[in-house]
């Protein structure tokens, strides 16, 4: 069982130490970007993850950051805790706002459901439209179209070579003036220098981040910005969800040992 929080990267150096003999790398989490899947596949080593079971907890974290950012929660709490005069900077109501979801997978759909309960309008962008049961959800054929239409943009994509720095200066420039960014996916999807610049200019009004480009390090420009809400990659960090993740990870191992099959394989052999 592997977790990027405790094990670090599962790369050639680590795989060579355990090969031959290593047959399954069972990731305790939905993300598996810390595993060299191509090399594992070349070695005929299975990689599994725990999709689905993290959806609700991560969606809850997304809404927590969204509401906290819209209501300037961090700045107000900081002032109270440090005995400072609370500056009454009015927040924003989510009702009537348009939420743009980038990546309408399990987490994205769970976020959409929660955001609709807050009265938000939902648009989303994937490579192609998906089947879903949500009503009044609009597909945007391009990322640019979504950025131009959204008051809040929430990122829910895996980290790949294609999505690294998916959000940079160009994308922030296409977002509405005074809009907000939420990221609970993977830190390197966002170019943090560009985000800090957009925040400092005021073009982006605020951000809610659970992940960081050089995790666990946080960009100094984010740390000092009172319009940024930060969490230390706790999207799925609840007792209930962690138990489900561990159970599914162990189920993959148990099934492989008993039958040679897997529940949630990431890679496939030719």
213 given a catalytic annotation: no
Per the annotation, the verdict on 44 as an active-site residue is no
- Please state, in angstroms and as integers, the Cα–Cα distance from residue 36 to each residue in 13, 14, 39, 41, 43, following that order: 10, 10, 6, 9, 11
Query: Among the options 4, 92, 219, 233, which is catalytic?
Result: 233
User: Is 32:14 a contact under the CB 8 Å cutoff?
Assistant: no
Q: Could you say which of 4, 156, 186, 219 is catalytic?
A: 186
Q: Choose among 192, 219, 93: nearest CA to 152.
A: 93
Sheet holding 152-155, edge to edge: 137-139, 121-125, 98-102, 152-155, 179-183, 204-209, 228-230
Q: What is the gyration radius of the CA atoms in the chain, in angstroms?
A: 20
- Whether the CB-CB separation of 189 and 155 falls below 8 Å is answered with yes
Question: How far from 236 is each of 20, 57, 122, 168, CA to CA, in Å?
Answer: 33, 5, 23, 26
Catalytic pick among 148, 215, 246, 251: 215
219 has catalytic annotation:
no
Catalytic residue list: 186, 215, 233
């Amino acid at each position: 069982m592997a977790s990027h929080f405790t094990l670090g990267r599962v790369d050639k150096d680590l795989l060579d130490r355990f090969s031959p003999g290593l047959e399954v790398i069972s990731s305790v989490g939905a993300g598996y970007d810390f595993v060299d899947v191509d090399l594992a596949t070349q070695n005929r080593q299975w990689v599994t993850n725990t999709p689905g079971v993290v959806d609700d907890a991560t969606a809850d974290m997304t809404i927590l950051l969204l509401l906290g950012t819209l209501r300037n929660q961090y700045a107000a709490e900081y002032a109270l805790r440090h005995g400072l005069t609370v500056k009454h900077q009015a927040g924003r109501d989510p009702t009537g706002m348009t939420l743009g979801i980038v990546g309408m997978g399990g987490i994205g759909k769970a976020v959409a459901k929660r955001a609709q309960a807050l009265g938000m309008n939902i648009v989303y962008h994937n490579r192609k439209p998906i089947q879903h049961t949500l009503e009044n959800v609009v597909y945007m054929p391009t990322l640019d179209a979504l950025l131009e239409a959204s008051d809040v943009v929430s990122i829910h994509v895996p980290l790949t070579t294609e999505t690294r720095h998916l959000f940079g200066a160009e994308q922030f420039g296409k977002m509405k003036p005074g809009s907000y960014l939420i990221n609970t996916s993977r830190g390197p999807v966002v170019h943090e220098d560009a985000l800090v610049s957009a925040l400092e200019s005021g073009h982006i009004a605020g951000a809610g981040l659970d992940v960081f480009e050089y995790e666990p390090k946080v960009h100094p420009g984010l740390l000092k910005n009172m319009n940024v809400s930060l969490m230390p990659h706790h999207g799925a960090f609840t007792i209930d969800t962690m138990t489900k993740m561990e159970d599914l990870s162990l189920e993959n191992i148990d099934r492989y040992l008993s039958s040679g099959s897997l529940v949630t394989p990431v890679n496939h052999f030719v």
